[in-house]
Structure 1
Amino acid sequence: MTSPAAPPPPPTPASPSTPPLRLGVIGCGRISQAVHLPAIAKTDAFTLVGVGDTSPRLAQGVAAKYAVPAFATVEDLLDQARPDAVLVAVPDRFHQPVVTAALNAGAHVLVEKPAAATSAQAAELADLADTRGLKLQVGAMRRHDPGIAYARAAVPRLGTLLSVSSWYRIQSRLRPPTEAALFPAMVVDEDVRRTEAGFKSDRAHYLLNTHGAHVFDALANLVGAPSTVRAQFAGHGRDCSWHGTGRLPDGGLASFEISADIHADYAEGMDIHGEYGQVSIRSTFPFFRRASTVRVHLERDGETRSPVFGAADPYQLQLEAFAAAIATDGPANPSGADGVTALRLIEAVRDSAAADGKEVAP
């Protein structure tokens, strides 16, 4: 069947008597403050032992909020805080050196997506983690959304897959007020913001890496990584859109759309059609922390199921899965190798769009 091989079972949670792991956070910017640090504060799996950022304002301001030491360099955090693991949330151009330093210091790593700036860099990190016998988990938190997990388990029941449609559309004017309502008060360094804006000036490259990491990990996780892709790009002002198709492992077709920005509300979903039925997924803006809505229809049974999961924090759930993988020596989900797969698909889409839709193998 065209659905991917079943993933390994989730790691058995560590015993409640197991002491929490020592965790350091490298990168004190927006994503850390909005979701990662609040998730760390809620979980019993980790104890925060320090935060690091090259911006003194960010490092010291965030450290004060969480009553932990602040560090100006990665080396100081690793040497002095001595974490069992680190969460890396720096711009992806820094992922390779930061993750390499952490792994070489003997720390397990949860790294924000994409795994690195390029698939070649991501492959080096995955190989290093394997060599060192350490966990490298990529922060594709949707895998830990209970709705997505339910859908993933249901896909093999569809039989051979014929058609998959996925879309991921980021809102324009509606995004800032939504985030302002959902995010905690932020420590801000305006100099850092100006610097990062310069690196994001190639907006199409930045958006495809950032959002493509999510879209293509979702495809690989749910239906298998496409063996080839065709894609085209359209842009107007700051708005960018990629549409494409991919050939699924056993011959079916997947279509995908990545659009940022759209002048409407956020939209994300996937429809998966196989010989025995359909799985339909609709996801909300991730910072709402609400599980995806899933409908599973099996034609031969005359049955449609749509479980209700309600609120769920995938950022906290991915941390707890990371801790369990460390404690039990289970597999990271997604792994460093999964991060490589997503980046290879991003690069193939970019190459195909540059060649006016030529078929490209990742």
Structure 2
Amino acid sequence: MAQPVRIALIGCGRIAQVAHLPAIEKADGVTLVAVADPSGQVASDVARRYGVPAAHTSQAEVFADPGVEAVIVAAPDRFHFPIAAEALRAGKHVLVEKPLAADSGEAEALADLVDQTGRLLQVGAMKRHDPGLEYAHRFVTGKLGTARTFNAWYRIGDLRPGIEATLFPPVFADEAARGAEATFKADRRRYLLATHGAHVFDTVRYLLGDVASVIAKHRQDGRDQYWQALLTMASGAIGTVGITVDVPGVPSEGIEVFGATGSIRVDTPFPFYRLASTVQAYAGGETVTPVLPDGDAYERQIEAFARAIRGEGPVTPDVRDGLSAVRLIEATAAAVGSGAEVKL
């Protein structure tokens, strides 16, 4: 890319420090020119670690800077709408962490703003940039035949905290902000369905298209939460989605899809291993297991964002993909609450 995109990071919390900042440091086509966080200490610590020239406590200062072309919004999801909306109105392109917004009304408003401003908005469902899922998307489109059924899962294992402690860099934190966030996340059922559902529902839509209806059940054991959903796709395919927090053992994520002429299984590693998903694809009497390097989906999504800004590729997932994921999260919660099928 001839001219790197000048980008700013809004929100310097945990996900920014363990995912976005290391990815930006490696990514081609971007230059990080500013960070912003309500905690001046965290903003300055992060800026010093990554050699960023400007640290702010207000995103308004970032949006007023004509040298900033685009922003990454890594603040908690309840702030996604106001920050992303302000950025779009200021003429900035936006990469916003998933879920797109706290509810579908906010997500719809962001979709309208994208249309009005002509700016780009990409949702941080970074699994779409995993080489294994990209391979699966091509396979489903070209060799699977008509999709008939599928099974998708997203499981958080009780070994995850130890894995994170091994893989994550030290994190700068404001203890007051951390306490406030812990209070918000005390609505564990809402938080977990939104944060994990955003990933698995986007994967299902990426491979299989729009969802027509949802039937869902929920179970809770102490702090642990489980959702099982039956989805009917607009194509007529049916399948299940399981979201489980926690289970004994390691995290596990994946999807199996069965079609008229083939089938495929994708197993997605914990993202901070920075490995591509493993794939087994069957068609024409043979099973193919591709070798897929370059597995840092966070780095790849930022590079894709930069290419889209320069007109060298599509925005994926875009604002309407993000809206659809939020609607699916809400539909699942409504189906659990009513015990009835919810149509989208």
| Counterpart residue number, 1:163 | 149
Consecutive unaligned residues in structure 1, runs of 5 or more:
1-15
CA distance in 1, matches of 2:65, 2:49: 20
1:256 equivalenced with 2:238 (yes/no): no
| Counterpart residue number, 1:361 | 343
Q: Does the 8 A contact of 1:267 with 1:283 survive in 2?
A: yes
Displacement of 1:311 in angstroms is: 4.7
Displacement of 1:187 in angstroms is: 0.6
Seen in structure 2, the aligned counterparts of structure 1 residues 21 and 310 have a Cα distance that, compared at 3 Å, is: closer
1:103 equivalenced with 2:88 (yes/no): yes
1:270-349 equivalence runs, <5 A: 270-298=255-283, 301-328=284-311, 330-349=313-332
CA distance in 1, matches of 2:181, 2:169: 21
Q: Aligned match of 2:46 in 62, 67, 76?
A: 62
Consecutive unaligned residues in structure 2, runs of 5 or more:
none
CA distance in 2, matches of 1:271, 1:44: 32
CA distance in 2, matches of 1:225, 1:287: 29
Q: Which amino acid aligns with 2:209?
A: G
1:14-53 equivalence runs, <5 A: 16=1, 18-53=2-37
1:64-213 equivalence runs, <5 A: 64-68=48-52, 69-80=54-65, 82-156=67-141, 157-172=143-158, 174-213=159-198
Report Cα offsets for 1:289-324 as digits up to 9, x if no partner: 1000111101xx211111011451111100011011
Q: Which shows bigger deviation, 327-336 or 315-324?
A: 327-336
Q: Does the 8 A contact of 2:308 with 2:315 survive in 1?
A: yes
CA distance in 1, matches of 2:292, 2:147: 26
Give the TM-score of the pair, scaled to structure 2.
Answer: 0.97
Identity of aligned residues (%): 46
CA distance in 1, matches of 2:191, 2:183: 11
CA distance in 2, matches of 1:191, 1:47: 31
Q: Does the 8 A contact of 2:304 with 2:313 survive in 1?
A: no
| Counterpart residue number, 1:351 | 334
1:246 equivalenced with 2:231 (yes/no): yes
Displacement of 1:144 in angstroms is: 0.4
CA distance in 1, matches of 2:221, 2:210: 30
Q: Does the 8 A contact of 2:209 with 2:235 survive in 1?
A: no
Q: Does the 8 A contact of 2:111 with 2:319 survive in 1?
A: yes
Displacement of 1:153 in angstroms is: 0.3
1:199-238 equivalence runs, <5 A: 199-238=184-223
CA distance in 1, matches of 2:290, 2:314: 27
State the number of aligned residues: 342
CA distance in 1, matches of 2:48, 2:107: 33
Q: Which shows bigger deviation, 249-258 or 339-348?
A: 249-258
Indicate the SS of the match to 2:38. Answer: coil
Displacement of 1:336 in angstroms is: 0.2
CA distance in 2, matches of 1:134, 1:231: 36
CA distance in 1, matches of 2:108, 2:239: 25
Indicate the SS of the match to 2:279. Answer: strand
Seen in structure 2, the aligned counterparts of structure 1 residues 311 and 317 have a Cα distance that, compared at 3 Å, is: closer
CA distance in 2, matches of 1:83, 1:311: 28
Seen in structure 2, the aligned counterparts of structure 1 residues 106 and 329 have a Cα distance that, compared at 3 Å, is: farther
Indicate the SS of the match to 1:227. Answer: strand
Runs of at least 4 residues off by over 4 Å: none
Displacement of 1:163 in angstroms is: 1.1
CA distance in 2, matches of 1:57, 1:270: 42
Indicate the SS of the match to 1:176. Answer: helix
Q: Does the 8 A contact of 1:24 with 1:81 survive in 2?
A: no
Q: Which amino acid aligns with 2:146?
A: T
Q: Does the 8 A contact of 1:151 with 1:281 survive in 2?
A: yes
Give the TM-score of the pair, scaled to structure 1.
Answer: 0.92
Displacement of 1:67 in angstroms is: 2.2
Indicate the SS of the match to 1:334. Answer: coil
